[in-house]
A = this chain, B = another copy of it.
Amino acid sequence: MTSATGRHLVDHHCHGVVLRDLDRTEFERLLNESGGPSPLGTSLFDSMIGLAVRRWCAPVLDLDPLVTADDYLARRRDLGFTEVAGRFLRESGTECFLVDTGYSPDAISGSAELARLAGGRAHEIIRLEGLVEDLLVAGVGAHELPERVARALEETTAVGAKSIAAYRTGLELPTAEPDAGDVARALDECEPTSAGAYRVAHPVVTGWLAWAAINAGLPLQLHVGYGDKDANLREGDPLLLTRFLRATEEHGVPVLLLHNYPFHRNAGYLAQVFDHVFMDVGLATHNTGALSAAVIRESLELTPFAKLLYSSDAFGLPELYHLAALLFTRGLTTLLDTLVDRGEAAPADADRISALILRENAQRVYSKI
């Protein structure tokens, strides 16, 4: 029904690409959410995402599907990182990237560079914890900060804001805007490291920041579920957000639950019952490779079609933008084609649903893109 070529995806959550050549260890470190291959294990190519790279990325580098990992990586180095990045980003069919530029443990591209390499457009998503940490580093005082943050969110060119409360203080965000005095006191308690950096991890601060985005009318992205081991996955269940969602619904500002796996059914429930809740299965899609179809299917059980978005959550490896786009589009299209074949949806339904999920929902939610 929907064609695999000529995709015009909006990727509503991704990061930048690493712009240098990588040896095998460096490549494997960026492949999944572990810190690299285990001394007790084998190569991380021995995984669903490893198979997917060999199957679906090799042909983009003019290789046969399923070449060995070493042959794949040799070809990658021969072509050079710029050519490789450009090929995968263009191949992804992504027209518009919403880029979280707040996470850069490695030297990665900014959003403009990403857009240029892809031949597409990019917008920034402002990371809330990063915003306040930058202001603290700049020496802005605790009592001045709330107004400075509010103004920054009003004036930003970013099209949305992202909270990583899940990594800092958990998802049980407050059901009302924290009191200004409490915020000032919590900010006062933030101490810099010896290097002069800040790491905001106070529940009053993360709660206040989430509410600040709501008050500014900026779509609020929340890290939920699957990620690296710095977060405790148990505390990443989107149902922990229920009270916050109940409290914020009347504000009419979109709240976007990112990743969600393995709690994507829970996220689908929230997207059904709360007017302002949206979800995706980013990161999980490319990590589960050929098995991602089941994850996509489960995410559609309860979620209205207007509430599911596409995201890659790709970081670092340009392969991941391509894999996420290909696997999500393929999984969704296959599911919809099956419904059409069985007479459970009309061809026009499949086209419409596909367009909503791959592009139009994001265009409606992020009014500035």
Contacts and interface: CB of A to CB of B under 8 A. Distances in A.
A275 B34 contact: yes
Given A233-B242, A262-B266, 10 more contacts: A34-B272, A34-B304, A38-B275, A38-B276, A39-B252, A40-B252, A51-B344, A66-B346, A66-B349, A229-B274
A306 B46 contact: yes
A300 B47 CA distance: 8
Contact of A234 (B237, B294, B349): B237
Interface of A is mostly: loop
Nearest to A345: B51
B353 A46 contact: yes
A298 interface: yes
A274 B40 CA distance: 10
Contact of A47 (B233, B234, B252, B304): B304
A223 to B, nearest CB: 15
Nearest to A365: B40
Contact of A273 (B229, B272, B273, B307): B229
Interface string A272-300: 11111010000010011111001101101
27 contacts: A33-B273, A35-B275, A38-B307, A40-B254, A40-B276, A41-B307, A42-B306, A46-B305, A46-B352, A47-B303, A47-B305, A51-B344, A51-B349, A65-B343, A66-B346, A226-B269, A228-B273, A229-B242, A229-B246, A229-B273, A232-B242, A233-B239, A234-B242, A288-B302, A290-B339, A291-B300, A294-B297
A273 B364 CA distance: 35
